[in-house]
Structure 1
Amino acid sequence: MSANKDGDGGWKSFIWNSDKKEFLGRTGGSWFKIFSFYVIFYGCLAGIFIGTIQAMLLTLSNYKPTYQDRVAPPGLSHTPRPDKAEISFTIGKDETYEAYVSHMGEFLKAYNDEKQEDSSKFEDCGDIPKTYTERGELESTDGVRKACRFNRDLLKECSGKADDQFGFREGKPCLIVKLNRIVNFRPRPPASNDSIPEAARPNFQNHLIPIHCSTKREEEADKLGPVEYFGIGAGFPLQYYPYYGKLLQPQYLQPLVAIKFHNITRDFDMRIECKVYGQNIDYSEKDRSQGRFDIKITIKNPSS
């Protein structure tokens, strides 16, 4: 019994030793020094961390990314955008192209007239290519900037108004193409006709980034058939640039180009490449959407 008492007394005295005034083996002064040390130590660490974050934030702009190296600008994208960049459907069979048509209809809703009625946010920039629309510096007190309207009627047969099937039902499909948004990017048109392929020269205009589609293989050129372009010219007009970002132009609409393929050979895997041309537009084998895109279109006859 005495051993148990001694053991109990040792445990209790470690928790609180009334003779030495110690709690868990330390006096009050010792605990105060340790507590003060760790408060100062972790306070300094927190101060260094907060200071470095604040210093980094001072180097960043609220309106323009400091670094834009994830994707080399500009990318060229299209709607519909199916998996594996392959469009395959059968003429007259709605179920085979219903997803493509639905995707295009949803995409173009943002371009409906009622979405662009607010004159405090939108303005008319003309229906012929013009030079850049300057709306002040990014880092200024001008606030939210207006954006150019883009009327769906400019896409004509591919607007989805007269033909809500976008040509798929007749085997003459449309693609809607846009240049991806890059804050404060000003695309520069080709310096001259000599700097673009001969087949794309009819699309060349002042103040326009021309686009041209062709077959991936030269020997298949006769299977592509006529290609028609709708929009403000056959390309992207400069008055829609530069883009000022989501904070300053939350309502911004990119200019669009509709491409209609009138007579692609049936029951044939047609591989097509579409490219835009400009002085500051480059292409990369690592990024197949940089300044261009590839797509395979297969149009099947109903009896196939």
Structure 2
Amino acid sequence: MPSNKDDGGWKKFVWDSEKGELLGRTGSSWFKIIAFYVVFYGCLAGIFIGTIQALLLTLSNYKPTWQDRVAPPGLSHTPRSDKSELSFNLNDMGTYLPYTKALREFMAKYNDELQRDQMKYEDCGEEPATYKDRGELISDIGTRKACRFSRSLLGPCSGIEDNEFGFKEGKPCVIVKLNRIVSFRPKPPPSNASVPDEAQSKVQPNVIPIYCTNRREEDAGKIGEIKYYGIGGGFPLQYYPYYGKLLHPHYLQPLVALQFTNLTLNTELRIECKVFGENIDYSDKDRYQGRFDIKLSINSL
């Protein structure tokens, strides 16, 4: 059969010398379509860049624009597991080694030698005091100093003398902090009536009190004594407000150490800790908003 030479095959489609077409288009046609898409996508890129720049002009370098949509504050603890469960055996160091390691790493940033720079840190007292005002967020003052917080304030839970943080003796420590929120000023409870009866002994001026108790009725009487270490046994107001990473890069959150000194052994216990304040709320959807609960289990068998 004779070969089909009507269209010249694919070679003629790529380049047609008779019509001067490349891939079915002449040079002027290619120029027009390329110019169109260059202008089209250039305009899209310009609109995109313009909207981003306009958005950036509405944002502050010092404070989140929509911070009012955050329900403050979060309460967190160290050591912490995925299921908020601390379980270990007194006779097996390997079972509590991850907890003590996490505590040592967390407390390392509170070493006294790291807080000696007079240009970065200042003494704010070891007794509760009112807020430490360091000016407005947007001003020419620049970087703000941070209050020192010595590990020694946490007593036997500081890790200075006992680097096992009480776990070896069955008296474990948990370090608690309020999460950082720019410009947030936690307010103490307006009255004792806003605090449960069992926690009213923790209320004092210039402190956000924290109180822990059994979460389940069946655990009543099994928790034993809980000791609170820190300034005023809570979160003192002189460490607030926080000015953000840009203006307050060396900020140290005040800490509270909880030591469970007489837990019932070989039993899983549910413990809830809450902070109390006029502008502190709780949510069933967020178990760390103003509170947290942990499962504690110490085995001796």
TM-score, normalized by the shorter chain, greater than 0.5: yes
- 2:114 is matched with 115
The structure-2 alpha-carbon separation of the partners of 1:124 and 1:8, relative to structure 1 and needing over 3 Å to count, comes to same
The structure-2 alpha-carbon separation of the partners of 1:271 and 1:15, relative to structure 1 and needing over 3 Å to count, comes to same
Whether 1:102 aligns to 2:101 is: yes
Q: TM-score, normalised by structure 1?
A: 0.90
Q: In 2, distance between residues paired with 1:53 and 1:244? A: 26
The structure-2 alpha-carbon separation of the partners of 1:27 and 1:257, relative to structure 1 and needing over 3 Å to count, comes to same
Contact 1:92 1:170 in 2 (8 A): no
- 1:15 is matched with 15
Whether 1:146 aligns to 2:145 is: yes
1:173-231: CA deviation from partner (whole Å, max 9, x where unpaired) = 11110011111111111001111011111111111100000111345322111111000
- 2:191 is matched with 192
Give 1:1-304 correspondences, 5 Å limit.
8=8, 15=15, 17=17, 26-68=25-67, 72-301=71-300, 304=301
1:84-106: CA deviation from partner (whole Å, max 9, x where unpaired) = 11112233432221211111111
The structure-2 alpha-carbon separation of the partners of 1:12 and 1:231, relative to structure 1 and needing over 3 Å to count, comes to same
What's the secondary structure of 1:246's corresponding residue? helix
Q: In 1, distance between residues paired with 2:97 and 2:9? A: 84
What's the secondary structure of 1:32's corresponding residue? helix
Q: In 1, distance between residues paired with 2:44 and 2:209? A: 55
What's the secondary structure of 2:137's corresponding residue? coil
1:74-120: CA deviation from partner (whole Å, max 9, x where unpaired) = 11111111231111223343222121111111110000011111111
Aligned length: 301
Q: In 2, distance between residues paired with 1:220 and 1:6? A: 93
Q: TM-score, normalised by structure 2?
A: 0.91
Q: Using the TM superposition, name which of 68-77 and 83-92 deviates more.
A: 68-77
Shift of 1:232: 0.3
Q: Using the TM superposition, name which of 64-73 and 186-195 deviates more.
A: 64-73
Provide structure 1 residue ranges, at least 5 long, that are not aligned to the other structure.
none
The structure-2 alpha-carbon separation of the partners of 1:200 and 1:9, relative to structure 1 and needing over 3 Å to count, comes to closer
Shift of 1:26: 4.7
Contact 1:93 1:169 in 2 (8 A): no
Q: In 2, distance between residues paired with 1:226 and 1:91? A: 19
Provide structure 2 residue ranges, at least 5 long, that are not aligned to the other structure.
none
Q: In 2, distance between residues paired with 1:8 and 1:298? A: 84
Identical positions, percent: 64
What's the secondary structure of 1:131's corresponding residue? coil
Which runs of at least 4 in structure 1 moved beyond 6 Å after TM superposition? 2-6
Let me know the Cα RMSD of the aligned residues: 2.4
Shift of 1:129: 1.0
Q: Using the TM superposition, name which of 203-212 and 221-230 deviates more.
A: 221-230
The structure-2 alpha-carbon separation of the partners of 1:7 and 1:169, relative to structure 1 and needing over 3 Å to count, comes to closer
